[in-house]
Structure 1
Amino acid sequence: MTADGPAFLADFATLSGFGATERGGVHREAASDADTEQWAWFGRWLAARGFTVVHDRIGNQFGLLERTPGAPYVLVGSHLDSQPFGGRWDGAYGVLAAAHAAHRLAGERHPLNLAVVNWFNEEGSRFTPSMFGSAVFTGALDLGAALDTRDPAGIRVGDRLAATGRTGTGAPALAGIAAYAEIHIEQGRVLEDTGSTIGLVEATWAARKYDLRVIGEQSHTGSTVMADRRDALLGAARLVVLARELSDELSTADAPLHTSVSRMKVEPNSPVTVAREATLNLDLRSPDEPLLARADALLHERVAGIERSARVEIVIAGSHGWGVQPFPAAGVELAGEVADGLGLSHRRIPTVAGHDSVNLNGHVPTVMLFVPSVAGISHNEREHTTDADACAGLDVLTGVLRRLAAGEISGR
Structure 2
Amino acid sequence: MDTDFLEDFAAMSTHGATPGGGVEREAGTPEDHAVRAWFRGWLEEAGFAVRHDAISNQYGLVELVPGAPYVLVGSHLDSQPLAGRFDGAYGVLAAAHAAREVVRRVRAGELTAACNLAVVNWFNEEGSRFTPSMMGSSVLTGSLPLETALAATDRAGASVADAIATPGDALDLAVPPVAAYAEIHIEQGRGLEESGTTIGLVDRTWAASKYRIVVHGEQSHTGSTIMADRKDALFGAALLIVAARELTEELPEGLLHSSVSELELAPNSPVTIARRVEINLDLRSPDEAVLARANALLEERIAQVEQRARVRVERRLTHQWGLLSYQPEGVELARSAAAALGLTHAPTMTVAGHDSTNMKDVAPTVMLFVPSIQGISHNEGEATSDSDALAGVALMTEVTARLVAGELGADAAFVPGL
TM-score, with length taken from structure 2 = 0.94
SS at structure 1 position matched to 2:356: helix
One-letter amino acid of the counterpart of residue 32, structure 1:
T
Match of 1:122 among 99, 116, 125: 125
State the match for 1:170 in structure 2: 173
Paired with 2:70 and 2:31, the residues of 1 have a C-alpha distance of 29
Alignment of 1:259-338 (within 5 A): 259-317=258-316, 319-338=318-337
Shift of 1:318: 5.5
Moved more, 163-172 or 386-395: 163-172
Q: Secondary structure at the match of 2:387?
A: helix
Q: Any conservation in 2 of the 1:54–1:171 contact (CA below 8 Å)? A: no
Deviation at residue 326 of structure 1 after TM alignment: 1.1
Find 2:75's aligned residue among 73, 78, 85.
Answer: 78
Rounded to whole Å, the distance in 2 between the matches of 1:218 and 1:251 is 39
Equivalent residues of 2:20, 2:380 under 8 A apart = yes
Q: Give the Cα separation in 1 of the matches to 2:102 and 2:53.
A: 24
Query: Residues 298-329 of structure 1: CA distance to partner in whole angstroms, max 9, x if unpaired?
Result: 21232122122212222235611222111111
Q: Indicate yes or no: 2:198 matched with 1:197.
A: yes
Distance across 1 between alignment mates of 2:306 and 2:168: 46
Which piece of structure 1 moves more, 329-338 or 387-396?
Answer: 329-338
* Structure 1, 142-151 or 291-300: larger mean CA deviation: 291-300
Residue of structure 2 in register with 1:243 after alignment: 244
| 3-state SS of 1:245 partner | helix
SS in 2 for 1:368: strand
Root mean square deviation of aligned Cα: 1.3
Partner of 2:416: none
Partner SS state of residue 126, structure 2: coil
Higher mean C-alpha displacement, 285-294 vs 375-384: 285-294
Measured in 2, the distance between the counterparts of 1:166 and 1:230 equals 51
* 1:169 counterpart SS class: coil
Following TM superposition, the consecutive aligned residue runs of length 4 or more in structure 1 with deviations greater than 4 angstroms are none
Residue 142 of structure 2 corresponds to which residue in structure 1? 139
**1:37 aligned residue:** 34
> Cα offset for 1:362?
2.1
For structure 1, the residue ranges without an aligned partner over 5 or more in a row are: none
Residue 397 of structure 2 corresponds to 398
Contact persistence 1:62–1:171 (CA under 8 A): no
Match of 2:212 in 1: 211
Q: Measure, in 1, the Cα distance between the counterparts of 2:318 and 2:127.
A: 14
Match of 2:228 in 1: 227
> Are residues 101 and 387 of structure 1, via their aligned partners in 2, closer, same or farther at CA, if it must alter by over 3 Å?
same
2:346 is matched with 347
User: 1:227, CA displacement in angstroms?
Assistant: 1.3
AA aligned opposite 2:228: A
- In 1, are the aligned partners of 2:201 and 2:367 still within 8 Å (CA)? yes
Cα distance between partner residues in 2 of 1:82 and 1:167: 23
CA distance in 1, matches of 2:169, 2:125: 15
CA distances 1:155-198 after superposition (whole Å, capped 9, x unpaired): 1111111223345112415xx00000000000001111011111
Kindly report which structure 2 residues correspond to 1:366-405, keeping only aligned pairs within 5 A, or say none: 366-405=365-404
Pair 166,311 (structure 1): closer, same or farther in 2 beyond 3 Å: farther
CA distance in 1, matches of 2:314, 2:145: 23
Structure 1 residue 228 displacement after superposition = 1.3
Q: Residues of 2 paired with 1:402 and 1:332: CA distance?
A: 15
Matched, 1:155 2:158: yes
**Aligned with 2:103: secondary structure?**
coil
Partner SS for 1:115: strand
- Which amino acid is the alignment partner of residue 41 of structure 2? R
Describe the SS at the equivalent of 2:407: coil
Structure-1 separation of matches of 2:228 and 2:152: 39
Aligned letter for 1:402?
A: A
Partner Cα separation in structure 2 for residue 129 and residue 313 of structure 1: 26
TM (norm. structure 1) is 0.96
Higher deviation after alignment, 124-133 or 380-389:
124-133
Q: Secondary structure at the match of 1:62?
A: strand
Please give the alpha-carbon distance, in whole angstroms, between the structure 2 residues aligned to 1:219 and 1:323.
42
Q: Tell me, yes or no, if the aligned pair for 2:54 and 2:173 is still in contact at 8 Å.
A: no
Matches of 2:6 and 2:246, distance apart in 1 = 43
* Superposed displacement of residue 357, structure 1: 0.5
Q: Which SS does the other structure have where 1:106 is aligned?
A: helix
Measured in 2, the distance between the counterparts of 1:212 and 1:58 equals 29
The share of aligned pairs that are identical, in percent, is 59
Q: In the alignment, residue 122 of structure 1 is paired with which amino acid?
A: E
The residue type equivalent to 2:147 in the other structure is: G
Gaps of 5+ in 2: 107-111, 414-418
Kindly tell me the number of residue pairs found equivalent between the two proteins.
Answer: 405
- Is residue 89–residue 185 contact of structure 1 (8 Å, CA) maintained in 2? yes
Once the two structures are TM-superposed, the CA of residue 20 in structure 1 deviates from its matched residue by 0.5
Letter paired with 2:190: R
Note if contact 1:222-1:272 (Cα within 8 Å) is conserved in structure 2: yes
Q: Which residue of 1 aligns with 2:24?
A: 27
Q: What's the CA shift string for 1:105-142, capped at 9, x where partnerless? A: 11304010111100111111111121111111111111
